[in-house]
Structures are given as C-alpha cells and as structure tokens.
Structure 1
C-alpha cells in the first residue's frame, strides 16, 4: 500500500508490524515530553535484549534491522503518547548512536533502518533531519539507540 493511501494504522498492518507495548524508562525520566507542538522521545534501543558492536558482533545489515526494530519501539511510544498515530504531522529529527568498533564506517547505513521505516509508515511526513554518531559503548551494550522528535497535533 503506498504511503499516500489508508490510515497510519492500516499502513502498519500492511507492513506486517504488530506494535508492542511501549517499554518503560529504566530510571527517573519519561518516555516523552510534549512542548510547543513537538513531542521529544527519549532514546530507545531494540526491544529484544541484544548486546554487541557493529563491525565485530554484527554486520551493517543486522544493524539496519536493529534500527528498524527501534523504529517499531518508537511507534509504540508514539501510540502510547498520542493514542492515534494520525496525529503525527512530521517526523522532525532522528539522532542515532551506533555501538561500533573504531574502524566501522557505515553508521549511516545502520540508521537507514529507522529512516526507511518512518517513510514507509508516514509517507512524506516521515522525511526527517538526522545525525548519527559512532559510540565506543552504549547502555546495556545495545548495538544502537535512537532519540527522535515529532511535530504533533495536540490540543493540551
């Protein structure tokens, strides 16, 4: 189904995605903060407990799938926050941290897993600015963590 057809929920179903319940923060912070029309999401990693580094334990292609899994977790948090994913006006920004060996050079290809999913789900509204960084270590030795910002329609 092209991104221009159907509701966001229908697109997710057509992609074969079943949204999990949003994971809860592991410390004293929240999954999201809403201010001035923007929804800021805390950094999320893949929902399954995966540990390791890109370029040592995992390939770029596996990293792409991990980033896509992070995108699904982000969709779950958006659903928790908004109730209706149709309230997303624009994916504004994604910032990724890729746990990698120093010689790894394909961080951008890993983050494409997240970016591609956002465009598949939201169409043109899924296009976003982004940055990606290599990291020597990440919490729980996760292979990738992504935080994101969304413009949303809320009357709060």
Structure 2
C-alpha cells in the first residue's frame, strides 16, 4: 500500500470516483510536472452535498465540509491522471471560490476545509499558496468551487 493510501486509510478517508466534466472541458491538464485541475464542487454520488450561499443558507461549518469534499474530488482527478498520489511532490496553489452573502467575510475559514485536509494527507507537501475569494453565485448554486495546481514527479522513461 502506498504511503498516501496508507495515510488516507488512517484518516478513514475514501476517495470518491473521479467524475467526468460537466461541459466541454477536461478535468485536468498536465504541463511538464504540473497538474492544473479545473474547478470542482462538492458532489457526493453525483449530487451536490450542499447548495446555497455562505452566510445566508449555509454555516461556516457546512462550507468547511463542502471544501473538504471538493478537495477529495480533486485528489481523485489527480490520481486518475497520474496513477498514484505518491507521485505528488507538493500541492502548489489553491484557488477557492465561496458563494457568499453580501455581508459574509469568512471565505478563508471555509476554504480551510480543503487546506487542512491536504495538509493532513500530505504533511508538508500539502502546504500551498492560496486565494480564498467570495463570489455572488457559482454554477448549480454550489457553495464552493476549488482549483488546484500540483507538482508531480517526472514520468520515468
């Protein structure tokens, strides 16, 4: 068992199956040793875990959970692309969008759900640069959308 898979098992985490894109794009693109994911949301069994805006329809705790679920989906996308999460050298950058009520200012606390999870799974390799932004709406009324950039080990020749 790989070290990342072992860590997932210790944390009692099961990665969801990688889902196909919802429109005319791909889930990720590899350029050299970097993987750029498309934006993803908090889907469980093909359905949104939550919908609505933070600060109006959802609590920070629900947003935090939505960010965690989204991060797991992105890890599934990366794993499908490279075969094993042990090939991740580091999580480089995260962009987190939070659908927010006009007076909601806790976007960083919501996106911490994804950041905290990545550090739990990857340790130091999971620490990343990050932006956490508020927006008025997201597709399908999702509360969170996240993109990742990950550095991966070079393909062996």
Q: Could you say which TM-score interval applies, normalised by the shorter chain?
A: over 0.9
Gaps of 5+ in 2: none
After the TM superposition, list the runs of 4 or more consecutive aligned residues in structure 1 that deviate by more than 6 angstroms.
none
Q: Within 1, Cα distance between the matches of 2:64 and 2:16? A: 19
Q: Within 2, Cα distance between the matches of 1:127 and 1:18? A: 21
- Out of 12, 19, 22, the residue aligned to residue 16 of structure 1 is 12
1:93 is paired with a residue whose SS is strand
Residue 3 of structure 1: aligned partner: none
Q: Within 2, Cα distance between the matches of 1:47 and 1:116? A: 19
Instruction: Summarize deviations over 1:112-152 as a string: whole Å, max 9, x none.
Output: 00000000011100000000110101000000000010000
Gaps of 5+ in 1: 1-5
Residue 144 of structure 1: aligned partner: 144
How many Å apart are 1:154 and its aligned residue?
Answer: 3.0
2:123 is paired with a residue whose SS is helix
Residue 73 of structure 1: aligned partner: 73
Provide the aligned length of Structure 1 versus Structure 2: 151
Residue 39 of structure 1: aligned partner: 35
TM-score by length of 1: 0.94
TM-score by length of 2: 0.93
